[in-house]
Amino acid sequence: TPVCYWFSLHQPALKDEEEFTDILEERRRTTDLGYALRTFNPQPYKGAPTLSTSDLNKAVLESQYLCYIIKEIAMETGSSVEKVKEDASRILKEMSHNLQLGFIRLMGYTLNKVFKRLYRSIYVNMEGLNMLQQAIQESPVILIPNHRSYVDFLIISYILFTYDIPVPVIAAGIHVAIIGGLLRRSGAFYIRRAIGSDKLYWAVLLEYVQTIVRTGYAPLEFYVEGFRSRTLKSLVPKLGMMDMVLEPYFKGEVFDITLVPISISYDRVLEESLLALELLGVPRPKESITGLFKASGVLQEDYGCMHVNFGRPLSARQLCEGKINWSEYNLIPRNLPQRPTAETQDCVNWLAHLIVRTQEEGSLISPWSLMACLLLQTPFTTLTEEGLQWHQLTEKTLWLRKLVLDFGARLNWPGGWANSEVMSSTVALHHSIVHHKEDRIYLVQDEDPARQDPLSPEEGVMRMAVVVLMLVSYRNQALHVFVRPGILATAIHITKNTRKDELFSFFCFLQDVFSNEFIFIPGSAVQDFEEACSLLQKCGAVHISQQEVTVLETGLEVLSFLQKLLQPFLDSYQLMFRYLCEKEDHVFTEEQFLPDVRNLATKLILSGDLRTFEVLSSDTQKNVLSALRRLEAVTKLRMESDGGNISTE
Amino acid sequence: MCHTFPALTSDRSSRICSLLYKHGSSMASNSSGSDSSDRQRIAQQRLSVIAGHLQRPVEGNSGILAAECKAQGDKLDVSSERRTVPRRRQEIMKWNGWGYSDSKFLYNKKGQAEFTGKRYRLSGMIIPGLREWMESTFGANLQHKTPAAPILNSSAVQPPTLNEAFLKELKSTGIPFSHDAEDRVFRSHGHCLHEIFALREGKIGRVPDLVVWPNCHNDVVKIVELACKHNVCLMPYGGGTSVSSALECPPEETRSIVSLDTSQMNRILWIDEKNLTAHVEAGIVGQDLERLLNESGYCTGHEPDSMEFSSLGGWVATRASGMKKNIYGNIEDLVVHIKMVTPQGVIEKSCQGPRMSTGPDVHHFIMGSEGTLGVVTEVTMKIRPMPEYQKYGSVVFPNFEMGVACLREVARQRCAPASIRLMDNEQFKFGHALKPQVSSIFTSFLDGLKKFYITKFKGFDPNRLCVATLLFEGDREKVLQHEKQVYDIAAKFGGLAAGEDNGQRGYMLTFVIAYLRDLGMDYYVIGESFETSVPWDRVLDICRNVKARIVRECKDKGVQFPPLSTCRVTQTYDAGACVYFYFAFNYRGLSDPVHVYEQVEHAAREEILANGGSLSHHHGVGKLRKEWMRETISSVGMGMLKSVKDYVDPNNIFGNRNLL
């Protein structure tokens, strides 16, 4: 069963899969130009005819599917087929990539320079690359990295070019003139942000993507999370692209599709401060070259290491076995549009979650993430005023290191270094967030030298929030390791119950409430619960019998850590629920909701009644609204003028 | 009175034999010009008309005694001496392999493959390329042999469970029967891989307890009556060529199982030249039917690949399809009238109108019933004058995709020749390996030149190209015209005409390929073919996916060598095509090769269904594919079939448990 397969992903990784190689090391020894001009002769998908960009576009425009839709639209709108065809052609032009080897070389040259400056090392698991190389020759390959930074946009292409593997075409959501053109030539194609109900656009996109998949034209890369995660926490997957990509397999047009989850982990994210500002409602800068470079602040900064972990290639065929009813595809001509059944949608949803979970499993946790978890559990006054004792932080961090290793996470703890060295170099790397003074650790609080008047209390909260949210995002990088046992710890803490079945039902309730916040594979509640139980048992926190879960004296530290780790989410959700309950007006707009909640939260923070800043984050607020809509507590109404009307029920 | 059609004295070889057999080396196309044979043919036709007039009607006279019909038959049916299938099949056929005992592939002392016997065009010839092909395709090795058990060990056969009361009454009818172990074993199996594999190992499971040989319709009526009376399980047996486990005795059957062998009901009862129909006993095998009709200048044109051994009744009971269906139609198009004996009595229509609107066609309960409702005893079939001219042909395509596109276009224009088949690259290579030794240097030089032209000059990739074989039939003018039309279409898809020889050899191989499996089984190679029908838009996908699935499954199941996984498109229809898959592998290193084989075939069938293919185009369901019936025809459909079975055969006398 697929569940078993999922468990097989948990198998201990082979030794060489764990081994990472610093690919920058060799780059530092050779010239950038020599690198860019190296021979590039990858082995493509077997039997794939080599298709030029214009052939690809022609095949898309002449496809039976698109012709059918064009005719249908012409009928519906009363315009001529030629006219609709022209529109389609225009859409395709706006969308299509223009992958050119010359530009790949240029990109390689540039990235070489940039990466060498920004990063100490870029670690790649070579075994993963080998498996990918193999997979590409056997079936169409979909590369699915997580998305945490603009830097990861071209990193995969850069690595594949370096190792003589066909460079991917990349589904991109951004569209800006200059950089757009460059990226287009590096293999990016563009998808509009809001497609809505534009039938023609959807049709062109679908045919374009599927032609690439069907022909094995090149590996296709897209972000299943849909967006760059501002919180560095995995986002609930978007299903549109996943659906499109898998359909050729569902229809039998290809024998199999290989999905390769890729986990990119950063010691320090280039746009860390921007992320916090965006989450607090400061509009993000335009995505242009200047924006990007401004975002990076100065290229002189040290961003530590980057890890790119190529996951084991997953066979869509194997994963979907028994989940798809093929006969639904047998009774309708292949080239006609077909809405997937609920069964198929469930399968795609499940698969997308599985991919994101696999990305999580594959990502590396840095010492800094552990520290962030701990710092956020320290009273803020300690961090801002008296400072946290260095030895205390060190002790706790080492304790937590043991815990994450017990929980089976991949930890990026530099080998061959003394623990104190690791601690101090980590803190030094994150000097924008903390500083180390006289054996104490303090949060960095920017002083604005231009400012004369003292800050208002509200402004103080916002300024504190910026640095706290940065810390939060690094904590988030480690959250996936703790979330399942954390929810169990929370359930134990709240219910004070020891009966396994009751804990399980509360566990399920919490999963249900927070499933927009954390990645839970649909239908895996039982396994998640079992996993949580066994992890807590393994670290000696609880004793588990047939029916009872008993807290052990030795486990209080772990349980309290886990429960406090998730407390900000509970507090944030509760605050917003209370706000909605107390609200007299049952219809409100999204634009109104966000600042209202922020104001309320700020007041509560100032009065000392709320201890988390995360409620200020627009991400949390959006997740709460999504969760409430999913749970059918609120519903979204469409207004004539704009689209953001929400009503409580 | 069971009159039979008087045999004619002509010793002309039949045309079908010219394709099949060596001694008929003059091709039908060549014989059309001969004056004397024309005159002879007309004379024969006239004779047959007279014979038809002299004949008394057979039907509707239920008072006829079985014994009488048998006695008459024996006396009058001179031609029965020339019938292919004797009661004791073991006299001419293998007990644990395909076909005639005297015909088989083997490696001679020099290590060259040869085909023994005198019956086929390939008989007595050396096939130089076969060994290398077997070694390179399967990793087979002449040193590693897996010989079959040489003789049938009768003591391994369970003693029969006899129903004494039934037996006693049966004896009194005078209908021949036997409970000899060999006779019973012969009727206990078809030609599925697992059936033959078990026989080769000398393993024998449940076999029928008794074999009866009715001589005519009334004998069958008698047997069915007795079976009902004594609650005996009847299993009709025709040619024994089933590949659906249809002849396997259900292991759970506790009653005495009687195999009803129709092979002696093999007469053409009359030929109606006004309406172009022939009334034939259902036990006749294909080659006899064609040969006898040919003697009168007619043919049915129904030529399934198994036609040497498969019977008319079997075709009806499984909805058979013939190679030349494009001209003559499949069995459902050919049948005009059917008589079937069921536990509820005889079912037949009252007239022979060419089409009727009288509710659902009851023939369609019979066709495809796979022996679960009764025994088909007599069939009226359409016949056609023999074609004046036949011509083979072949076309080479740069790749399989182009080949399929061409076949689709041919079907769109509805100009398919009598037969058109497209083999994939692996089969093309296989066909090549089966080329007999060429006698002249000139021929091999020409072959070399052709190969050079196609691969070097035209740039075809030898590992991608594929070939279509063609058979045209009709009057000379039209055939030539038709040929041109088809070659013109082929040219649009990059096809190059590749000669008559290649085409003819392709069709000849159809008949010997079944023998080849036995050779493989001597050297650790097991395999089989299976078929499906699929809409045009899925042909390429199904071919690719099923072949890939087979390869993947073999790998997963621990098969040590890459399997042969190949396909061909064998029939074209307006809305789709029939696709045949061939699958074989070297099983060295596997503890239970048949189980592995069955798992892979099962997976391949799942793949076929997932890709929009049918459960079967013409092999039928039997017991092998029963598990997919409900999803294939829906629960309501199953209920419909079930209710027919419940009415016609409430006590499950026809208890072979096929289909449902």
pLDDT value, residue B48: 57
- Is A329 within 8 Å of B541 when comparing Cβ atoms? no
Task: Give a yes or no: residue A106 inside a domain.
Answer: yes
Is the pLDDT reported for residue B148 higher than 60? yes
Q: Round to whole Å and give the CA distance between A237 and A606.
A: 36
pLDDT value, residue B46: 56
Closest residue in A to B536 (Cα) is A333
Sign, Cα dihedral of B287, B288, B293, B294 = positive
3-state SS class at A591: helix
- Integer distance in angstroms from the first to the last C-alpha of chain B? 37
Same domain, A356 and A493: no
Strands A314-315 and A258-266: antiparallel
Identify which of A256, A330, A335 has the shortest CB distance to residue B612: A330
Is the pLDDT reported for residue B43 higher than 70? no
pLDDT value, residue A289: 46
Whether residue B517 is annotated as binding a ligand: the answer is: yes
Structural domain for B580, as ranges: 524-624
Task: Give a yes or no: residue B319 inside a domain.
Answer: yes
Identify which of A253, A327, A333 has the shortest CB distance to residue B541: A253
Indicate the helix (H) or strand (E) that contains A414: none
The number of residues making up chain B comes to: 660
Whether residue B319 is annotated as binding a ligand: the answer is: yes
Beta-strand (E) ranges in B520-563? 525-535
Window 328-367 of A: residues touching B by CB (8 A cutoff) are 329-330, 333-335
Nearest chain A CA: its distance from B542 CA (Å): 8
Window 199-258 of A: residues touching B by CB (8 A cutoff) are 251-253, 255-256
Record the tokens describing residue B121, joined without a space. 């065009």
Task: Give a yes or no: residue A63 inside a domain.
Answer: no
For residue A455, give the DSSP letter: P
Q: What is the CATH number for B591?
A: 3.30.300.330
Contact B190, B100 (CB under 8 A): no
Whether residue B374 is annotated as binding a ligand: the answer is: yes
Identify which of A255, A329, A334 has the shortest CB distance to residue B548: A255
Nearby residues of A371 by Cβ (< 8 Å), 6 or more positions away: A393, A397, A423, A426, A427
Task: Give a yes or no: residue A93 inside a domain.
Answer: no
Chain A residues whose beta carbon lies within 8 Å of the beta carbon of residue B609: 326-327
pLDDT band at B22 (very low <50, low <70, confident <90, very high): very low
Give the other-Cβ count within 10 Å of A126's Cβ. Answer: 16
Chain B residues whose beta carbon lies within 8 Å of the beta carbon of residue A256: 548
Task: Give a yes or no: residue A7 inside a domain.
Answer: no
Contact A538, A404 (CB under 8 A): no
A326 touches chain B (CB under 8 A): yes
Record the tokens describing residue B247, joined without a space. 């002849």
Whether residue B238 is annotated as binding a ligand: the answer is: yes
Is the pLDDT reported for residue B3 higher than 60? no
pLDDT value, residue B72: 43
Q: Round to whole Å and give the CA distance between B629 and A101.
A: 53
A12 touches chain B (CB under 8 A): no
Closest residue in A to B542 (Cα) is A252
b (16+ CB within 10 A) / e for B55-77: beebeeeeebebbebbebbeebb
Strands B576-586 and B496-497: unpaired
- B547-552 — which CB contacts under 8 Å span 24+ positions? B547/B581, B548/A255, B548/A256, B549/A255, B549/B603, B549/B604, B549/B607, B550/B581, B550/B583, B550/B600, B550/B603, B550/B604
The mean predicted confidence, pLDDT, of chain B is 88
Which of the residues A326, A344, A347 would you substitute to probe the B interface, choosing the one with the greatest number of B C-beta atoms within 10 Å?
A326
Beta bridge partners of B380: B279, B337
- Is B542 within 8 Å of A253 when comparing Cβ atoms? no
**pLDDT tens by residue, B309-360:** 999 999 999 999 999 999 999 999 999 999 999 999 999 999 999 999 999 9
Which of the residues B399, B541, B553, B633 would you substitute to probe the A interface, choosing the one with the greatest number of A C-beta atoms within 10 Å?
B541
Task: Give a yes or no: residue B371 inside a domain.
Answer: yes
Closest residue in A to B546 (Cα) is A255
Average pLDDT along chain A, 649 residues, taken 10 residues at a time: 37 56 89 85 72 90 94 94 95 90 89 90 94 92 93 89 92 68 85 85 95 91 91 94 94 94 94 84 55 56 92 95 85 84 93 96 95 94 90 95 93 88 93 91 74 76 89 95 96 93 96 96 96 94 92 93 96 93 84 89 91 91 92 81 59
- Is A255 within 8 Å of B542 when comparing Cβ atoms? no
Q: What is the CATH number for B326?
A: 3.30.465.10
Record the tokens describing residue B240, joined without a space. 């024994």
- Is A255 within 8 Å of B611 when comparing Cβ atoms? no
- Is A256 within 8 Å of B548 when comparing Cβ atoms? yes
Q: Round to whole Å and give the CA distance between A117 and A299.
A: 7
- Is B549 within 8 Å of A255 when comparing Cβ atoms? yes
Is the pLDDT reported for residue B159 higher than 70? yes
Asked about B580 being catalytic, the answer comes back as yes
Kindly provide the ipTM of the predicted complex, given to two decimals. 0.84
Task: Give a yes or no: residue A559 inside a domain.
Answer: yes
Beta-strand (E) ranges in B104-249? 105-107, 113-115, 126-127, 177-178, 210-212, 233-237
pLDDT band at B74 (very low <50, low <70, confident <90, very high): very low
| Overall number of domains in chain A | 2
Same domain, A353 and A485: no
pLDDT value, residue A445: 77
Task: Give a yes or no: residue A618 inside a domain.
Answer: yes
Q: Round to whole Å and give the CA distance between A277 and A617.
A: 9
Question: Where are the alpha helices (H) located in B261-399, listed in sequence order?
Answer: 286-295, 312-318, 325-328, 331-334, 363-366
Which of the residues B545, B605, B631, B632 would you substitute to probe the A interface, choosing the one with the greatest number of A C-beta atoms within 10 Å?
B545
Closest residue in A to B611 (Cα) is A252
A381 touches chain B (CB under 8 A): no
Chain B residues whose beta carbon lies within 8 Å of the beta carbon of residue A334: 537-538
Chain A residues whose beta carbon lies within 8 Å of the beta carbon of residue B545: 252, 255
Q: At what angle do helices A457-495 and A590-607 cross, to 10 degrees?
A: 90
Task: Give a yes or no: residue B156 inside a domain.
Answer: no
The residue whose two tokens read 């998730």 is A566
Whether residue B376 is annotated as binding a ligand: the answer is: yes
Share of chain B above pLDDT 90, in %: 78
Window 589-628 of B: residues touching A by CB (8 A cutoff) are 609-612
pLDDT value, residue A195: 80
Nearest chain B CA: its distance from A246 CA (Å): 15
A322 touches chain B (CB under 8 A): no
- Which bin fits B368, alpha (ψ -120 to 50), beta or left (φ > 0)? left
Indicate the helix (H) or strand (E) that contains A521: none
pLDDT value, residue B31: 40
Q: Round to whole Å and give the CA distance between A160 and A162.
A: 5
- For chain A, how are helix, strand and coil distributed in percent, rounded to 5? 55, 10, 35
pLDDT value, residue A172: 86
- Is A252 within 8 Å of B542 when comparing Cβ atoms? yes
Which of B328, B354, B385 is the last residue in one of the domains?
A: B385
Whether residue B240 is annotated as binding a ligand: the answer is: yes
Task: Give a yes or no: residue A229 inside a domain.
Answer: yes
Whether residue B280 is annotated as binding a ligand: the answer is: no
The residue whose two tokens read 């190529």 is A310
Nearby residues of A387 by Cβ (< 8 Å), 6 or more positions away: A437, A438, A440, A441, A442
Nearest chain B CA: its distance from A245 CA (Å): 17
Which of B385, B401, B429 is the last residue in one of the domains?
A: B385
pLDDT band at B187 (very low <50, low <70, confident <90, very high): very high
Q: Round to whole Å and give the CA distance between A354 and A365.
A: 19
Nearby residues of B334 by Cβ (< 8 Å), 6 or more positions away: B300, B301, B302, B328, B381, B382
B631 touches chain A (CB under 8 A): yes
pLDDT value, residue B83: 74
| Overall number of domains in chain B | 2
- Is A252 within 8 Å of B541 when comparing Cβ atoms? yes
- Residue A358 phi, psi dihedral angles, 5° rounding: -65, -40
Strands in B210-212's sheet, in edge-to-edge order, are B177-178, B210-212, B257-261, B233-237
**How far, CA to CA in Å, does A225 sit from each of A261, A364, B110, B526?**
12, 18, 67, 49
Task: Give a yes or no: residue A8 inside a domain.
Answer: no
Q: Catalytic one among B392, B580, B582, B587?
A: B580
Q: Round to whole Å and give the CA distance between A167 and A183.
A: 13
pLDDT value, residue B4: 41
Structural domain for A608, as ranges: 481-631
- Is A252 within 8 Å of B609 when comparing Cβ atoms? no
Task: Give a yes or no: residue B133 inside a domain.
Answer: no
Task: Give a yes or no: residue B111 inside a domain.
Answer: no
Whether residue B596 is annotated as binding a ligand: the answer is: no
Identify which of B537, B544, B612 has the shortest CB distance to residue A255: B544
Which of A342, A362, A382 is the last residue in one of the domains?
A: A362
Size of interface A-B (CB pairs under 8 A): 26
Task: Give a yes or no: residue B613 inside a domain.
Answer: yes
